[in-house]
Amino acid sequence: MFLLHEYDIFWAFLIISSLVPILAFWISGVLAPVREGPEKLSSYESGIETMGDAWLQFRIRYYMFALVFVVFDVETVFLYPWAMSFDVLGVSVFIEAFIFVLILIGGSVYAWRKGALEWS
C-alpha cells in the first residue's frame, strides 16, 4: 500500500479527517466546565438505582449474525470482480459463477432453516 501513489491522497485525507475528532475533543477540553459529583458518575438506568452488574452475558445470536455476515461478505468480495468484468468473460465463466452463487444460496437456506437468522 505504501508504494501505490494513487493512495497518497487517501492517507492525507485520513490524517486530516482524524484531526476532526481530535480537534473537537481538545476544544471541548478547553471550553467545557468540569464539575464532578457522585450522581454524575453513575450509569443511567431511567432514573432508578442500577441493579446488578453492568455487563450482560453476550447472547449467541449476535455471533450467529456476524458469522453469516462474514460468509456473505467474502462471497461478495469474490462476486465483485466477476460482476465488473462480466462482458469480456465468456459463458463458461458465467456458469461457474452461477454454480458458486448456487452453493452459497444453499448455505443461506441451510442457515435460515436451522434458525441462525432468528432473533428470539
- Contact flag: residue 99 with another protein (CB under 8 A): no
Q: How far is CA 4 from CA 10, 11, 12, 77, 85, in A?
A: 11, 11, 13, 21, 23
Considering only residues 5, 87, 92, 113, which one is a binding residue for another protein as defined by CB under 8 A?
87
Distance of CA 34 to the CA centre of its chain: 34
Please select the residue that binds another protein; options are 1, 2, 3, 42, rule is CB under 8 A.
Answer: 42
When computed from its CA atoms, the radius of gyration of the chain, rounded to whole angstroms, is: 25
Residue 78 binds another protein, judged by CB under 8 A: no
By the rule CB under 8 A, 103 interacts with another protein:
no
SS3 101: helix
CA dihedral 36, 39, 23, 31 (to 10 degrees): -50
Instruction: Determine how many CB atoms are found less than 10 A away from the CB of residue 116.
Output: 16
Least distance CB 110 / another protein (angstroms): 13
The residue ranges that bind another protein (CB under 8 A) are 6-10, 12-14, 16-18, 20-22, 24-25, 27-29, 31-35, 40-46, 52-56, 58-59, 62, 65-66, 68-69, 72-73, 76, 79-80, 83-84, 86-87, 91, 94, 97-98, 101, 105, 108, 112, 117-120
